[in-house]
């Protein structure tokens, strides 16, 4: 029999939306059902591009908005080639905390959306993408409750625009679901599982 190809599932949302929590919950659930699961995140921390991204975010080096977004593309390409695609070819379920939708949502604060779609064109479309829809007020409240400093993208105004951009992106690609992220964590998790029934056997 031909080996079954794996599934690629992505979680997205503004900072503080809960996408990392839902990624981990799905990994735990699938492993309890004997799936082989790879939980990963973008940007990575391994590539040269990701190190430059970190340097820019921490104001150690500067770049234009376009140069900054190209680094995410370079990191994504390496991540796909080294981890995601090999894992899918081995029949594993890859759960990614962020993917190119983050570039569209965050990047279009400073860059043209169509240009961003263009430089990310050619990357595989996930089997399912879940965008957690959360108000900027709730996002900021959650971020501050962590005791961490608020970063560049984490003001209410920017988070509101990011969420608007996510909603626009949701209409442009197949397999994308907007999920209300202001409900109890387990309620959100159960909705996500219900939407995966048709792709996970």
Distance CA 161, CA 120 (A): 20
Residue 145: predicted pLDDT:
77
Residue 39 lies in a domain: yes
* Number of helices followed by number of strands (H, E) in the chain: 9, 5
- C-beta separation of 66 from 82 below 8 A: no
* C-alpha neighbours within 13 Å on the C-beta side of residue 116: 23
The answer to whether residue 88 sits within a structural domain is yes
Element (H, E) at 11: strand 7-12
Task: Output phi, psi for 82, to 5 deg.
Answer: -90, -30
Partners of 96 in the β-ladder: 10, 40
Query: Residue 4's pLDDT is what?
Result: 55
Q: Does residue 130 sit within a domain?
A: yes
What's the average model confidence in pLDDT over 5-24? Answer: 94
pLDDT digits (tens, 9 = 90+) for 160-189: 899 999 999 889 999 999 999 999 999 999
Would 2 be classed as within a structural domain? no
Domain holding 15, by residue range, is 7-196
**CA 141 to each of CA 102, 128, 151, 184: distance values in angstroms, whole numbers, following the listed order:** 21, 28, 13, 16
For residue 76, how far is the Cα from the chain centroid? 11
36-45, 77-86, 100-109, 148-157: the lowest-pLDDT one: 148-157
In the predicted structure, residue 22 carries a pLDDT above the cut 60: yes
CB burial of residue 106 (10 Å; 0-12, 13-18, 19+): buried
Global pTM? 0.91
pLDDT (tens digit, 9 = 90+) per residue, 39-62?
999 999 999 999 999 999 888 999
Q: Is residue 1 part of a domain?
A: no
Compute the C-alpha angle 164/27/9, nearest 5°: 45
Judging by DSSP bridges, how do beta strands 128-133 and 7-12 pair with one another? parallel
Say whether pLDDT at 1 is over 50: no
Q: Residue 15 domain-assigned?
A: yes
Cα 48-49-52 angle, rounded to 5 deg: 90
Return the CATH number at 40: 3.40.50.300
Structural domain contains residue 159: yes
Strand ranges in 42-188 using DSSP code E only, listed in sequence order: 93-97, 128-133, 176-180
Residue 96 lies in a domain: yes
- What is the total count of domains within the chain? 1
Termini Cα distance of the chain: 16
């Amino acid at each position: 029999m031909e080996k079954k190809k794996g599934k690629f599932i992505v979680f997205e949302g503004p900072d503080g939306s809960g996408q990392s929590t839902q990624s981990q919950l799905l990994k735990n659930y699938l492993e309890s059902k004997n799936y082989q699961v790879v939980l990963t995140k973008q940007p990575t921390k391994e590539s040269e591009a990701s190190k430059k991204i970190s340097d820019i975010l921490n104001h150690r080096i500067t770049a234009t908005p376009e140069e900054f977004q190209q680094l995410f593309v370079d990191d994504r390409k390496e991540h796909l080639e080294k981890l995601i695609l090999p894992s899918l070819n081995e029949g594993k379920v890859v759960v990614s905390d962020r993917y190119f939708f983050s570039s569209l949502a965050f990047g279009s604060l400073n860059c043209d959306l169509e240009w961003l779609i263009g430089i990310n064109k050619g990357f595989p479309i996930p089997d399912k993408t879940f965008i957690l829809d959360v108000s900027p007020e709730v996002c900021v409240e959650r971020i501050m409750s962590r005791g961490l400093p608020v970063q560049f993208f984490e003001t209410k105004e920017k988070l509101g625009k990011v969420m608007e951009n996510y909603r626009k992106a949701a209409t442009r690609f197949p397999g994308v679901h907007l999920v209300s992220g202001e409900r109890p964590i387990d309620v959100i998790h159960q909705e996500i599982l219900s939407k995966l029934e048709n792709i996970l056997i």
